[in-house]
Structure 1
């Protein structure tokens, strides 16, 4: 089954990760932690890849349902519309997260060295 990217728990987890990275960037790097990674937590890159993959899966599932409905298969129109809306909301959430990350990156670039 498709993992819901737009569920409140997933969105909150991603926002919490972003806030954690923002806090670390503002406070500066601790030399003792450079190069160390925690084994119990997935990396930020893995989280982003997973989220983007889930959004892509939702879009593909919506496309498959739409095509099946157009071919005349026994799929309720409400299911098609709901899957397309879920896909749209997931994409919009991902777009907003991308925009926030770009703004944070630009802010880090503007910081004096």
Structure 2
């Protein structure tokens, strides 16, 4: 049984979305004009990017659950393969999210252990 890696097109899509979000002029994300940190540069809001990613994983899981319920109820429009594929996609997305969380926690611990 071969285990496939994460689809490279999805990674490229996510990177392009992050780049587009970083280039978008968002006045709410900019510091106030009178503040000392206002230098004309825009910053990508990490919290918003993380929230959007978590919302996408959640929607994948909800869609998987909904398809499973439709299949169990005997909906002719839903096949077993669709249910299984959607479930695997949701599972892989969740596993990737857990790995990102683990890396973030590890990076945080490394930073906190640095000597100043």
Per the normalisation by structure 2, the TM-score is 0.67
- State the match for 1:44 in structure 2: 46
The SS at the match of 1:7 is: helix
Q: Which runs of 4+ in 1 moved over 3 A?
A: 10-14, 33-39
Could you tell me which runs of 5 or more consecutive residues in structure 2 were left unpaired when the two chains were aligned: 1-8, 18-35
Could you tell me which runs of 5 or more consecutive residues in structure 1 were left unpaired when the two chains were aligned: 1-5, 15-32
Aligned ranges 1:93-104 → 2 under 5 Å: 93-104=96-107
Per the normalisation by structure 1, the TM-score is 0.68
Q: Which has the higher contact order (CA 8 A, sep 6+)?
A: 1
| Structure with more of its chain in helix, by fraction | 1
Computing the radius of gyration over CA atoms, which structure comes out larger, 1 or 2? 2
Aligned residues: 90
The SS at the match of 2:52 is: helix
